[in-house]
Amino acid sequence: MIRVLIADDEKPARGRLASFISEYSEFMILGEASDGMETVALVNRMEPDVLFLDIQMPKNSGFEVLQQIEYDPIIIFTTAYDEYAIDAFEVHALDYLLKPFSKERFSRTVAIIKKILNDPRDYKSRVRNAMQQIDKDGDFLERVTVKDKHIFTIIPARDIQCIKTAAGLVYIQSGDKEYPTDTTLNQFEQRLDPSMFMRIHRTAIVNLERIEKILPWGQGRFALVLENGHSLHISRDRLQEFKVKVGLKL
């Protein structure tokens, strides 16, 4: 019996995958996880043979899950779109399911799983090498994927006006549209190119190339006006760094 765990933050996606798996008598579903933290806990407790792992999940991404699990199941990555990851998986001959996938495509994954179980010698090293490549190639985000229900939107990093928090949630502004995201400002700050983006306040990251105006705000403070007309304040402790970045003499 091949013991399986499903990790995906979307209930319909978990249900679809469970339906496909149930058609194979040799598979047994141990459970389902809806976020990264839950996935880590279930993998470490249940020790599945196979983990179907969504790349983009709240409370730890799929890649962060891999860094925290203490057990090494076969990983089948599922994703709507992640160019760096897909390139790495293909180079290192690792399987992934690009959503939405068909029963026929899933059947090929089943064959791959059985092949790995019969001869697992180099599988772990291929996973490690792929992850190293992703870390190397994906130092700075070139695009961000956001989703609303079942719709995924790909936003090139250069098109982001700003990323800000409001009422405890994080939003990406691109053009005149605003998209909610589960990624934190701290995570964005680490992954976005610092030559293009800057944290100007504890609640905001701005694309320096999208600044249209810099306005005095009284008492030595300043505000930015972006191309989309949105305004943001620069905190006092970030002002000097901002001046240096944009070559400003105030």
User: Do residues 92 and 132 share a domain?
Assistant: yes
Rounded to the nearest 5°, which phi and psi values hold at 218? Answer: 90, 145
Render pLDDT for 35-92 as a digit per residue (tens, 0 to 9).
889 999 999 999 999 999 988 788 877 777 877 888 888 989 888 766 556 665 765 6
pLDDT of residue 231: 94
Last residue of a domain, one of 75, 110, 137: 137
Residue whose C-alpha is closest to residue 203's, from 227, 179, 235: 235
Q: What would the DSSP string read from start to end of 65-91?
A: HHHH-SS--EEEEEES--HHHHHHHHH
User: Do residues 127 and 172 share a domain?
Assistant: no
CB 194 within 8 A of CB 204: no
- Selection from 65-79, 121-135, 156-170, 213-227 with the highest mean pLDDT: 156-170
Residue whose C-alpha is closest to residue 94's, from 112, 68, 82, 81: 112
pLDDT band at 152 (very low <50, low <70, confident <90, very high): confident
CB 194 within 8 A of CB 228: no
Q: Where are the beta strands (DSSP E) in 34-90?
A: 50-54, 74-79
> Measured in whole angstroms, how far is the alpha carbon of residue 144 from the centre of its chain?
8
Q: What is the mean pLDDT of residues 135-156?
A: 74
- The domain total for the chain is 2
Q: Which domain holds residue 115?
A: 2-137
Q: Is 178 exposed, middle or buried (0-12, 13-18, 19+ CB in 10 A)?
A: middle
Which of 187 and 176 is assigned the larger pLDDT?
176
Render pLDDT for 79-121 as a digit per residue (tens, 0 to 9).
876 655 666 576 565 778 888 889 999 999 999 899 888 877 7
Q: What is the mean pLDDT of residues 8-14?
A: 90
pLDDT of residue 202: 92
Last residue of a domain, one of 137, 155, 174: 137
Query: By percentage, how much of the chain surpasses pLDDT 70?
Result: 90
Residue whose C-alpha is closest to residue 223's, from 90, 92, 212: 212
User: Do residues 22 and 129 share a domain?
Assistant: yes
CA separation, residue 31 to residues 97, 117, 180 (Å): 19, 20, 28
Q: List the CATH number of the domain containing 197.
A: 2.40.50.1020
User: Do residues 58 and 94 share a domain?
Assistant: yes
The dihedral sign for the CA sequence 131, 133, 136, 142: negative
pLDDT of residue 56: 79
User: Do residues 187 and 125 share a domain?
Assistant: no
User: Do residues 115 and 27 share a domain?
Assistant: yes
User: Do residues 70 and 46 share a domain?
Assistant: yes
Extract the tokens encoding 105.
């495509």
Query: Position of tokens 């043979």?
Result: 49
**What's the mean pLDDT when you consider all of the chain?**
85
User: Do residues 102 and 6 share a domain?
Assistant: yes
* Type and span of the H or E element at 60: none
Q: Say which range, 8-22, 114-128, 201-215, has the weakest mean pLDDT.
A: 114-128
pLDDT of residue 108: 92
User: Do residues 102 and 150 share a domain?
Assistant: no
User: Do residues 175 and 115 share a domain?
Assistant: no
pTM (predicted TM-score) = 0.56
User: Do residues 154 and 35 share a domain?
Assistant: no
Last residue of a domain, one of 106, 121, 137: 137
Q: List the CATH number of the domain containing 18.
A: 3.40.50.2300
User: Do residues 129 and 15 share a domain?
Assistant: yes
